Chains A and B, each alone.
Chain A
Amino acid sequence: MARIVVVTSGKGGVGKTTTSAAFAAGLAQAGHRTVVIDFDVGLRNLDLIMGCERRVVYDFVNVINGEANLNQALIRDKRVDGLEILPASQTRDKDALTFEGVEAVLTQLAETHDYIVCDSPAGIERGAHLAMYFADDALVVTNPEVSSVRDSDRVLGLLASKTRRAEQGEPPVSEHLVVTRYAPSRVGKGEMLSVEDIREILSIDLLGVIPESTAVLNASNAGVPVILEDKTDAGQAYADVVARYLGEQREHRFLDEKKGLFGRLFKG
């Protein structure tokens, strides 16, 4: 039985798709059969970040509408074994994702995968709701700014009330905080919230901190999930996120201005 992980935030442009690509690639590198699904119907850019946009023939909506079967739509990653992508459609309207359709696709994927990573669109409308509805775990992606933290807080409220687990009275979706685009120098100047502030406001477990890094843009231009660039700070930070998610204890780093220094260990 697969575990369904939604990558969500409320706010757009905070790094959900970057995180989805890196996280899914990291899980696959660790030997888990993983599929990452782009729920952002209309905007579709997971395939770009994964570098497989030219191989998209059928998409998520085609599968839901019965115009293609899953095997026709899934794209196998060429670099990482056991990693597949289900792209979003570019042209269809947002109502193309139906509750029953999403449920059927997830059920089928769950038979053949260990992890299903759902890259949520921004907002709290239909697409975002469907992306989180079936989740077992959530990565809540937050930038160190007040508006992003507020939107993440809203999303946490929805995870606790508008998901299958909540509605059926099962154990709640387990929530993990991923702070991205973290620039310690700007935190020092008081221009950004610190990781401690964000954790305090959201009061959920911190899975990792991804530094603001030019490596992310370079990797996305090259169509490579940044975690595969293992010499880069952001790549290493995502590797830590995956390892911690899989149960390994790792110190948090990239929290301080001085490069290469390990950040202090967070307690609890």
Chain B
Amino acid sequence: MAAASPQTTSAFELKGRMATLTVLRLQSNDARHVLVQLDERLAEAPGLFAGMPIVLATAAELEPSADMLAAVVAGLRERGLVPVAGMDLPADALADLGLGQMRNSDGERQAPERDGPESARSAQRPAAGGSRVITQPIRSGQQVYARGGDLVVTAPVSAGAELMADGHIHVYDTLRGRALAGVQGDTNARIFCRTLEAELIAVAGQYLLSEQMDARLRGSPAMAWLEGETLRVETI
């Protein structure tokens, strides 16, 4: 075959790259229970989850059996999700299921990829309670996470950018990207922005896509919060 010489062209590259992965954190040891609720969630946003890579994790007090994990993984695959790894789960069970192993010890946690210089600096000096203040625009492809606190942004957030905070998110400019407040489950977290053009907003896992938001809110100052299970958005 007259192909390029295998010695001279590199057939692949290995790159360390941070990516956002959706973590499915088990809070029940009953696989059927988990899958029934998952079906409800998938029904709300058909298509959104298709092909989505999933990392399996578990609440600290649970010790899921290998059978339980196998049932959940099979269920995920049936539903078109792609389980890729388990976090802090038994290595042998993961190996049997063809999943990779991930660890989530805090010390190893890395800053999100492409954090701006300023955000990198503020990560080294966290303000009280882990809050972060970002004064530079957050561009498409960038992620900023305020771990353990609020995220305050005083510059525009581009479409394709992602904000995450364990607490509230404030954007004193246009929010065009995604904003996820209360990502560790704080249902009291809120999102505030001066101009709402967001692709997605979420509080404690309840989310709205732009087309699900009231069109009259676009371009307005807005606040989003949870009322029970419902994510509400109003102008402010």
Contacts and interface: CB of A to CB of B under 8 A. Distances in A.
A169 B117 CA distance: 7
Most buried by A among B10, B136, B139, B158: B139
A150 B160 contact: yes
A157 interface: yes
Contacts of A205: none
For this complex, into which size category does the number of interface residues on chain A fall? 10 to 19
B142 interface: yes
A154 interface: yes
Contact of B140 (A95, A150, A161, A169): A150
Nearest to B176: A201
B121 interface: yes
A172 B140 contact: no
A150 B177 CA distance: 12
B196 to A, nearest CB: 15
Contacts of B105: none
Interface string B104-142: 000000000011110011000000000000001111111
Interface in A139-172: 150, 153-154, 156-158, 160-162, 166-167, 169, 172
Given A93-B9, A166-B116, A150 B159 contact: yes
Contacts of A160: 116-117, 136-137, 139
A153 B136 contact: no
Interface SS of B by simple majority: loop
Interface string B81-122: 000000000000000000000000000000000111100110
A218 interface: no
B117 A153 contact: no
B158 A153 contact: yes
B223 interface: no
A169 B121 contact: yes
A203 B155 contact: yes
B156 interface: yes
Contact of B117 (A93, A95, A150, A161): A161
A241 B5 CA distance: 47
Most buried by B among A156, A158, A160, A201: A160
A161 B139 CA distance: 11
Contact of B114 (A95, A158, A167): A158
Contacts of B138: 157
Contacts of B137: 156, 160, 203
Contacts of B161: 157
A167 B115 CA distance: 11
A93 B139 CA distance: 31
B140 A157 contact: yes
Contacts of B156: 201, 203
A95 B114 CA distance: 22
Contacts of A154: 139-141, 160
B117 A201 contact: no
A172 B160 contact: no
Contacts of A95: 10
A163 to B, nearest CB: 9
A169 B158 CA distance: 23
Nearest to B158: A153
Contact of A157 (B9, B116, B176): B116
Most buried by B among A158, A161, A162: A161
B142 A161 contact: yes
Given A157-B140, A203-B155, 5 more contacts: A154-B141, A157-B139, A166-B117, A172-B136, A201-B156
Interface of B: 9-10, 114-117, 120-121, 136-142, 155-156, 158-161, 176
Interface of A: 93, 95, 150, 153-154, 156-158, 160-162, 166-167, 169, 172, 201, 203
28 contacts: A95-B10, A150-B140, A150-B160, A153-B158, A154-B139, A156-B137, A156-B139, A157-B114, A157-B140, A157-B141, A157-B142, A157-B161, A158-B114, A160-B116, A160-B136, A160-B137, A160-B139, A161-B114, A161-B115, A162-B114, A166-B116, A166-B117, A169-B117, A169-B121, A172-B136, A201-B159, A203-B155, A203-B156
